[in-house]
Structure 1
Amino acid sequence: MTTSALRSDTPGLPDQGEARRAWQTAAEAIAEAERPIAGLPEPDRRSAGQRAAAAAARDAARAIRARFLDAHADAVYDHLTARRTVDLRLAELVTAAATAYPGLVPTTEQLAAERSRPQAAKEGHEIDQGIFLSRVLASPTAGRHLLDTMLLPTPRALRLLPDFERTGTADLGSVRIERRDDAAHLTMCRTDSLNAEDDRQVEDLETAVDLALLDPAVRVGVLRGGEMTHPRYRGKRVFSAGINLKSLHAGDISLVDFLLRREMGYIHKLVRGVRAEQPAHWRSATVEKPWIAAVDSFAIGGGAQLLLVFDQVIAAADSYLSLPAAQEGIVPGASNFRLGRAAGPRLSRQVILRGRRIRATEPDARLLVDEVVEPSGMDAAVERAVAELRGPAVVPNRHMLNVAEEPPEEFRRYLAEFALQQALRLYSDDVIGKVGRFTEGKQTEGEHPS
């Protein structure tokens, strides 16, 4: 598409021609600001003075990017999406931005080079993605369109759907899905890492959620952890150990494909449903279903975050929940948005800021868990929950509860701030140091529960 085709004389629409002219000036200033970095050694080989010089150069360039986007985010987004007629998922959007606005966000080549390095040796290019996406999400127009786009089913799910509808099963790698009667049972099966999440598991979980939502024979979804081969939990079911700290230390946890896609992809779909390809204008644009979580052993970090969006949570009596954000140094997804609504501000601060662990049998656990049963009774409890949630009035009522409890515009505004804050946290000195200590003797977050 040419620049001339992007100019708009329509009142109320962003002037893309003005944005392109402003970007030419901004791009030159960014290149000049970052020029000192080109002569420096790799990040992990820099002296203290060189690190300070690189940080100053990055700060100057990022200030220019932020000012440009503060003024032109809507025009940029409209350019990339042909005035919101093309649906670009997160990864596609940042790739398109790197091509159309060189220097605004990192290129595919820059990200590939970064991905080959441990977290401590990276330049931190993902922070520029965080700046870009925070400004896009801050826009009521562009941000809402991006969130709606992320509710579309993934191409992988659409490819697998006919076979899943026929067989009722799919093995996605880190997640298995099986339809039993009218319930889709999703089993997380990273057996050696206690279901610690990484980019691959986010991809598999979103595919599985899509299949459950798109299959007309499914009325209820169930998420549970499988039996582990990990030495400390061999033969036991585990729900989730949260983020895989070994992958984070190795530089294999990405801002876009993990931390943001997770929140805006499958977790968002658990709340809002999957967007229909051609919805009737007078009906809801999404297909929604009720969801049950069954917690065995523990739900740590990201595992505990998941529980906040489920319609019913069943926990084994010997299980516990925790959000060790203070130890990890990162922001625990949308928990800061949701936990206070579920459990109140005091408990939220105890859990998120001080790392309080809540055992399923504690009174406070009833704010987060619907039913606590002995481990031997989990299967029966899940079946009872499925029977309770398959009623025809459940879906419209859960829809209205979610509209009241989690208004889409409030979620969008939270994500706008989260995109930047989480990017900054990924590259903070304390996180890099803590992740390194975690992984010296412990493979994942889930390996140090007591």
Structure 2
Amino acid sequence: MTVAAPLDTTPAPTGRVPAYSGDLTADARLLTDFTAPREEQLAALPAKRDRAADQQRLAEGLLAACREARRCFLARHTEAVYDVLTDGRTRLVRLADLVFAAADRFPGLTPTRAAMAAEDACIQAEKDGREIDQALFCHAVLDSPVTGRHLIDAMLAPTPRALDLLAAFRATDRVELDTVLLERRGHTAHVTFRNADCLNAEDNRLISELETAVDLVLLDDRIRVGVLRGGRVNHPRYAGRRVFSAGINLKDLRNGDISFVDFLLGRELGYINKMYRGLLTAPERAAWAERTVQKPWIGAVDTFAIGGGMQLLLVLDHVIAADDAYVSLPAAEEGIVPGLGNLRLSRLTGARAARQVLLGGRRIAMAEPEARLVCDEVVPAGAVDEAVERAAEHLAAPAVAANRRMLALVEEPLDLFRGYLAEFALVQADRSYSEDVLAKVERRWSRSQARG
């Protein structure tokens, strides 16, 4: 009988963070030499779900040591690394491509595609939190005014998929994606969420397809106004009714299918920021007004807008809600940070009401006087269509786009947005792997399984 050799739990050599000199090439080599043996030890451990307590403590120590080495490296070299990855900021590189380019060019700085593929095969509770390592890099890039502004530009550029679909959209006035329907009616574009099986909850696919739809609305010069509205759902309680959004798909979060880069950061830097700040179409021009295309946006809430759905309303120019609808940001219940809700809600509702919503879980019904703080019109359920048409006609005036651009400059300066997102990257990644969040999503998943 062959006895398996005991697992080597001896800490990797050189326990201290490398003594970086400030030379990029030399320090990059130090980072690689420091992280490589620890990564080998991690790879030799069983999967997280199969580890003994001492093995899990070892894994946590190895991960923490590597993260501290990365933090110290980035404290010295973020801008130099970014310039290498973007050819001196002459190329706009989207966030997902940037984090993997960093892994290839500077081994040990961010997880490789192979490492993330292995992690993505696990449910959230059984991951080692490799997205936290991505978050460290994203935080450092966004925290620098130089690299952060350039990355924001990169994420405001049209997506390749939208550019591929533009000619067909102009020919047919319609693009039908898996979870989004885009239709042009005169000078108005209607974007309808169609994630019907989960109350139009946001997942990786919906976020990607919403960005495609928003790009097309902003690229088509026949369109003056965009409208966002939830499609009809098939949930037993709301069957046949329009639902704006149930927020993040908690089942996907539990299953490890919510991407930090593409979803948690990507939605804020992508389609939501494009709606708020415009689509970057001429990056070489100095004047912001000449670099971007902006259009006003309307939101129509027929039933409810929860979580990410309510976050979305905070950047829209005109919100219409049925009188029996409600909105909420259940951040305390879910345990994660509600995107940019913490940055934007208080300027609409005031600080006290914002705390009631964000910290106390307050739900705002459209029948309440406070509803006027987060929406512009409350109408009978049967009058939403007419209200949307009326608002679209009003917002199509030529001066609207220019004035909303100026409002955005005052309400949310670019560096305020950038600085918030830098901190959000760290906090949200940490919350996504916290014990309370993992326990909450597991309980919800168990209840849904029990219901069949």
Number of the residue aligned with 1:419: 425
Q: 1:322 aligns with which of 328, 342, 350?
A: 328
Whether 1:218 and 2:227 are equivalent positions in the alignment is no
CA displacement 1:281-320 (0-9 Å, x = unmatched): 4552100000000011110110010000000011111111
Partner amino acid for 2:59? Answer: A
TM-fit CA distance, 1:254: 0.7
**CA distance 1:215–1:335, change in 2 (3 Å):** same
The CA distance in 2 between the partners of 1:413 and 1:426, in whole Å, is 20
TM-fit CA distance, 1:101: 0.9
Partner amino acid for 1:302? Answer: G
The CA distance in 1 between the partners of 2:272 and 2:114, in whole Å, is 29
Number of the residue aligned with 1:47: 52
Q: 1:392 aligns with which of 377, 398, 421?
A: 398
Number of the residue aligned with 2:367: 361
Whether 1:305 and 2:303 are equivalent positions in the alignment is no
The CA distance in 2 between the partners of 1:372 and 1:343, in whole Å, is 17
TM-fit CA distance, 1:26: 2.1
Q: 1:100 aligns with which of 105, 110, 117?
A: 105
Does structure 1 conserve the Cα–Cα contact (< 8 Å) formed by 2:296 and 2:395? Answer: yes
TM-fit CA distance, 1:46: 2.1
The within-5 A match list for 1:153-302 is 153-277=158-282, 280-282=285-287, 283-302=289-308
Number of the residue aligned with 1:3: none
Whether 1:142 and 2:124 are equivalent positions in the alignment is no
Q: TM-score normalized by structure 2?
A: 0.92
The CA distance in 1 between the partners of 2:67 and 2:102, in whole Å, is 16
Whether 1:442 and 2:448 are equivalent positions in the alignment is yes
Partner amino acid for 1:29? Answer: F
TM-fit CA distance, 1:49: 3.0
Number of the residue aligned with 2:13: none
TM-fit CA distance, 1:32: 4.3
Number of the residue aligned with 1:338: 344
**RMSD value, Cα:** 1.6
TM-fit CA distance, 1:21: 1.3
Higher mean alpha-carbon deviation, 24-33 vs 415-424, is at 24-33
Partner amino acid for 1:437? Answer: R
The CA distance in 2 between the partners of 1:35 and 1:109, in whole Å, is 14
1:153 match: secondary structure:
coil
How many residues are aligned here? Answer: 429
Whether 1:89 and 2:94 are equivalent positions in the alignment is yes
Number of the residue aligned with 1:12: none
The CA distance in 2 between the partners of 1:375 and 1:219, in whole Å, is 26
Does structure 1 conserve the Cα–Cα contact (< 8 Å) formed by 2:226 and 2:296? Answer: yes
Partner amino acid for 2:266? Answer: R
The CA distance in 2 between the partners of 1:35 and 1:156, in whole Å, is 38
Partner amino acid for 1:400? Answer: M
Partner amino acid for 1:266? Answer: Y
Unaligned runs of 5+ in 2: 1-20
The CA distance in 1 between the partners of 2:309 and 2:210, in whole Å, is 13
The CA distance in 2 between the partners of 1:82 and 1:106, in whole Å, is 21
Does structure 1 conserve the Cα–Cα contact (< 8 Å) formed by 2:331 and 2:359? Answer: yes
Q: TM-score normalized by structure 1?
A: 0.93
What is the percent sequence identity of the aligned residues?
Answer: 55
Number of the residue aligned with 2:407: 401
CA displacement 1:78-98 (0-9 Å, x = unmatched): 000000011110111011011
CA displacement 1:8-64 (0-9 Å, x = unmatched): xxxxxxxx9921211111222223455543442211222333322222221121111
**CA distance 1:17–1:56, change in 2 (3 Å):** closer
Q: 1:123 aligns with which of 123, 128, 133?
A: 128
Number of the residue aligned with 1:76: 81
Unaligned runs of 5+ in 1: 1-15
Q: 1:433 aligns with which of 439, 444, 448?
A: 439
Higher mean alpha-carbon deviation, 72-81 vs 429-438, is at 429-438
